Amino acid sequence: DAGVIQSPRHEVTEMGQEVTLRCKPISGHDYLFWYRQTMMRGLELLIYFNNNVPIDDSGMPEDRFSAKMPNASFSTLKIQPSEPRDSAVYFCASSFLGGELKKLFFGSGTQLSVL
Amino acid sequence: RKEVEQDPGPFNVPEGATVAFNCTYSNSASQSFFWYRQDCRKEPKLLMSVYSSGNEDGRFTAQLNRASQYISLLIRDSKLSDSATYLCVVSGNTGKLIFGQGTTLQVKP
Protein backbone atom coordinates (compact mmCIF):
# COMPACT_ATOMS: atom_id res chain seq x y z
CA ASP A 1 0.00 0.00 0.00
CA ALA A 2 1.59 3.29 -1.13
CA GLY A 3 -0.08 5.44 1.49
CA VAL A 4 -1.06 9.08 0.94
CA ILE A 5 1.17 10.64 -1.70
CA GLN A 6 1.84 14.36 -1.80
CA SER A 7 3.81 16.39 -4.30
CA PRO A 8 6.00 18.30 -4.39
CA ARG A 9 7.92 17.59 -1.15
CA HIS A 10 9.40 21.07 -1.22
CA GLU A 11 8.31 24.20 -3.03
CA VAL A 12 10.13 27.52 -3.06
CA THR A 13 8.43 30.35 -4.88
CA GLU A 14 8.30 34.10 -5.01
CA MET A 15 5.53 36.24 -3.63
CA GLY A 16 2.71 36.66 -6.12
CA GLN A 17 3.25 33.34 -7.87
CA GLU A 18 0.63 30.60 -8.09
CA VAL A 19 1.32 27.46 -6.09
CA THR A 20 -0.41 24.10 -6.60
CA LEU A 21 -0.07 21.28 -4.11
CA ARG A 22 -1.18 17.77 -5.04
CA CYS A 23 -2.46 14.80 -3.10
CA LYS A 24 -3.36 11.21 -3.90
CA PRO A 25 -5.31 9.61 -1.03
CA ILE A 26 -5.28 5.95 -0.10
CA SER A 27 -7.53 3.93 -2.40
CA GLY A 28 -10.91 3.27 -0.82
CA HIS A 29 -10.76 6.15 1.64
CA ASP A 30 -13.79 8.42 1.45
CA TYR A 31 -12.49 11.41 3.42
CA LEU A 32 -9.68 13.76 2.42
CA PHE A 33 -8.31 16.56 4.58
CA TRP A 34 -5.93 19.44 3.94
CA TYR A 35 -4.04 20.76 6.98
CA ARG A 36 -1.48 23.51 7.36
CA GLN A 37 1.17 23.41 10.12
CA THR A 38 3.24 26.29 11.47
CA MET A 39 5.16 26.73 14.70
CA MET A 40 2.85 29.52 15.82
CA ARG A 41 -0.53 27.98 15.01
CA GLY A 42 0.09 24.23 15.01
CA LEU A 43 -1.98 22.00 12.72
CA GLU A 44 -4.92 23.88 11.23
CA LEU A 45 -7.67 22.19 9.24
CA LEU A 46 -8.16 24.08 6.00
CA ILE A 47 -10.81 22.02 4.22
CA TYR A 48 -12.09 18.47 4.03
CA PHE A 49 -13.97 16.41 1.47
CA ASN A 50 -16.29 13.44 1.76
CA ASN A 51 -16.79 11.39 -1.40
CA ASN A 52 -15.13 14.19 -3.40
CA VAL A 53 -17.57 16.84 -2.10
CA PRO A 54 -16.23 19.73 0.03
CA ILE A 55 -17.90 19.50 3.43
CA ASP A 56 -16.26 22.26 5.45
CA ASP A 57 -13.97 24.95 4.06
CA SER A 58 -14.27 27.30 7.03
CA GLY A 59 -10.57 26.93 7.72
CA MET A 60 -9.48 28.26 4.34
CA PRO A 61 -7.72 31.53 5.22
CA GLU A 62 -9.00 33.67 2.38
CA ASP A 63 -10.03 33.72 -1.26
CA ARG A 64 -6.46 33.21 -2.38
CA PHE A 65 -6.83 29.58 -1.30
CA SER A 66 -8.88 27.05 -3.24
CA ALA A 67 -9.12 23.26 -3.19
CA LYS A 68 -10.61 20.75 -5.56
CA MET A 69 -11.19 17.03 -5.65
CA PRO A 70 -12.17 16.10 -9.20
CA ASN A 71 -12.19 12.37 -8.43
CA ALA A 72 -11.62 9.90 -5.59
CA SER A 73 -7.90 9.59 -6.27
CA PHE A 74 -6.74 13.18 -6.61
CA SER A 75 -6.98 16.55 -4.88
CA THR A 76 -5.27 19.91 -5.29
CA LEU A 77 -4.76 22.89 -3.02
CA LYS A 78 -4.02 26.11 -4.89
CA ILE A 79 -2.74 29.43 -3.59
CA GLN A 80 -2.98 32.37 -5.95
CA PRO A 81 -1.31 34.77 -5.41
CA SER A 82 1.05 33.38 -2.78
CA GLU A 83 2.37 35.51 0.09
CA PRO A 84 5.28 35.02 2.53
CA ARG A 85 2.84 34.33 5.40
CA ASP A 86 1.64 31.25 3.50
CA SER A 87 4.98 29.59 4.23
CA ALA A 88 4.23 26.40 6.15
CA VAL A 89 4.06 22.63 5.85
CA TYR A 90 0.88 21.53 4.11
CA PHE A 91 -0.35 18.05 4.90
CA CYS A 92 -2.94 15.99 3.10
CA ALA A 93 -4.60 13.14 4.97
CA SER A 94 -7.23 10.56 4.16
CA SER A 95 -9.46 8.32 6.22
CA PHE A 96 -12.28 5.85 6.04
CA LEU A 97 -15.34 6.48 8.15
CA GLY A 98 -15.98 2.98 9.33
CA GLY A 99 -17.54 2.15 12.65
CA GLU A 100 -16.46 4.47 15.44
CA LEU A 101 -12.85 4.64 14.53
CA LYS A 102 -11.59 7.33 12.19
CA LYS A 103 -7.85 6.97 11.75
CA LEU A 104 -6.10 9.62 9.69
CA PHE A 105 -3.30 8.65 7.36
CA PHE A 106 -1.06 11.58 6.53
CA GLY A 107 1.13 12.20 3.54
CA SER A 108 4.71 13.34 4.06
CA GLY A 109 3.71 16.97 3.57
CA THR A 110 4.78 19.78 1.28
CA GLN A 111 7.19 22.31 2.75
CA LEU A 112 6.22 25.62 1.14
CA SER A 113 8.49 28.66 1.29
CA VAL A 114 7.26 31.91 -0.23
CA LEU A 115 10.01 34.49 -0.56
CA ARG B 1 -10.93 29.82 23.06
CA LYS B 2 -9.33 27.05 20.99
CA GLU B 3 -11.41 23.94 20.34
CA VAL B 4 -8.64 21.68 21.65
CA GLU B 5 -6.07 22.94 24.15
CA GLN B 6 -2.83 21.39 25.32
CA ASP B 7 0.11 22.53 27.39
CA PRO B 8 2.85 22.94 24.75
CA GLY B 9 5.63 22.04 27.19
CA PRO B 10 8.37 21.14 26.63
CA PHE B 11 8.39 18.35 29.15
CA ASN B 12 11.98 17.33 29.91
CA VAL B 13 12.15 14.02 31.79
CA PRO B 14 14.85 11.42 32.51
CA GLU B 15 14.69 7.93 31.08
CA GLY B 16 12.43 5.69 33.11
CA ALA B 17 10.23 8.51 34.35
CA THR B 18 6.45 8.57 34.18
CA VAL B 19 4.97 11.57 32.43
CA ALA B 20 1.38 12.68 31.86
CA PHE B 21 -0.12 15.01 29.27
CA ASN B 22 -3.51 16.64 29.48
CA CYS B 23 -5.88 18.01 26.89
CA THR B 24 -9.21 19.83 27.13
CA TYR B 25 -11.82 20.25 24.41
CA SER B 26 -14.63 22.77 24.11
CA ASN B 27 -17.30 20.94 22.11
CA SER B 28 -19.37 18.75 24.40
CA ALA B 29 -20.80 16.96 21.34
CA SER B 30 -17.39 15.54 20.43
CA GLN B 31 -17.52 11.79 19.89
CA SER B 32 -14.09 10.41 19.06
CA PHE B 33 -10.75 11.07 20.68
CA PHE B 34 -7.20 10.19 19.73
CA TRP B 35 -3.58 10.77 20.56
CA TYR B 36 -1.21 11.24 17.63
CA ARG B 37 2.56 11.36 17.72
CA GLN B 38 4.67 13.61 15.50
CA ASP B 39 8.43 13.30 15.16
CA CYS B 40 10.49 16.28 14.07
CA ARG B 41 9.93 17.11 10.38
CA LYS B 42 7.63 14.12 9.94
CA GLU B 43 3.92 13.63 9.51
CA PRO B 44 1.64 12.89 12.50
CA LYS B 45 0.82 9.24 13.12
CA LEU B 46 -1.89 7.68 15.23
CA LEU B 47 -0.60 6.58 18.63
CA MET B 48 -3.86 5.37 20.14
CA SER B 49 -7.57 5.97 20.32
CA VAL B 50 -9.14 7.05 23.60
CA TYR B 51 -12.17 5.18 24.90
CA SER B 52 -14.58 6.22 27.64
CA SER B 53 -13.51 3.33 29.86
CA GLY B 54 -9.84 4.19 29.46
CA ASN B 55 -7.43 2.03 27.53
CA GLU B 56 -3.86 0.86 27.68
CA ASP B 57 -1.29 -0.05 25.05
CA GLY B 58 1.94 -1.25 26.60
CA ARG B 59 3.51 1.68 28.45
CA PHE B 60 0.81 4.09 27.26
CA THR B 61 -2.50 4.71 29.01
CA ALA B 62 -5.23 7.02 27.73
CA GLN B 63 -8.16 8.33 29.76
CA LEU B 64 -11.29 10.28 28.85
CA ASN B 65 -13.46 12.32 31.20
CA ARG B 66 -16.53 13.46 29.26
CA ALA B 67 -17.98 15.42 32.17
CA SER B 68 -14.89 17.59 32.43
CA GLN B 69 -14.15 17.43 28.67
CA TYR B 70 -10.66 16.27 29.43
CA ILE B 71 -8.32 13.70 27.90
CA SER B 72 -5.03 12.42 29.26
CA LEU B 73 -2.06 10.36 28.13
CA LEU B 74 0.26 8.63 30.59
CA ILE B 75 3.63 7.27 29.52
CA ARG B 76 5.38 4.93 31.94
CA ASP B 77 9.07 4.00 31.92
CA SER B 78 9.94 6.68 29.35
CA LYS B 79 12.41 5.76 26.59
CA LEU B 80 14.65 8.05 24.58
CA SER B 81 12.60 7.04 21.54
CA ASP B 82 9.47 8.52 23.13
CA SER B 83 10.84 12.03 22.45
CA ALA B 84 8.33 13.63 20.11
CA THR B 85 5.34 15.94 20.01
CA TYR B 86 2.07 14.42 21.19
CA LEU B 87 -1.09 15.76 19.61
CA CYS B 88 -4.56 15.50 21.11
CA VAL B 89 -7.28 15.04 18.48
CA VAL B 90 -11.04 15.41 18.81
CA SER B 91 -13.78 14.59 16.33
CA GLY B 92 -17.55 15.02 16.08
CA ASN B 93 -19.93 12.92 14.00
CA THR B 94 -19.16 14.76 10.77
CA GLY B 95 -15.71 13.28 10.23
CA LYS B 96 -13.93 16.55 11.01
CA LEU B 97 -10.82 16.03 13.18
CA ILE B 98 -9.41 18.93 15.18
CA PHE B 99 -5.84 18.84 16.48
CA GLY B 100 -4.44 20.46 19.58
CA GLN B 101 -1.22 22.46 19.40
CA GLY B 102 0.76 19.50 20.69
CA THR B 103 2.89 18.80 23.75
CA THR B 104 6.61 18.33 23.25
CA LEU B 105 8.37 15.59 25.21
CA GLN B 106 12.13 15.32 25.50
CA VAL B 107 13.44 12.23 27.29
CA LYS B 108 17.02 12.64 28.52
CA PRO B 109 19.52 9.83 29.21
Instruction: Determine the average pLDDT of the residues in B8-13.
Output: 92
- Which residues have C-beta within 8 Å of that of residue B105, sequence separation ≥ 6? B9, B10, B11, B13, B19, B21, B75, B78, B82, B83, B84, B85, B86
CA dist., res. A47 & res. A57, Å (int): 4
All residues of chain B having their beta carbon less than 8 Å from the beta carbon of residue A45 are 96-99
Q: Strand, helix or coil at B109?
A: coil
Q: Residues of chain B with pLDDT > 70: what percent?
A: 100
pLDDT at A100 over 50: no
Q: What is the pLDDT of residue A99?
A: 46
Query: What is the band of A101 on the pLDDT scale with cuts at 50, 70, 90?
Result: low
**Tens of pLDDT, residues B22-44:** 999 998 888 889 999 999 989 99
CA A64 to chain centre: 14
Residues B46, A103: C-beta atoms closer than 8 Å: yes
All residues of chain A having their beta carbon less than 8 Å from the beta carbon of residue B87 are 43
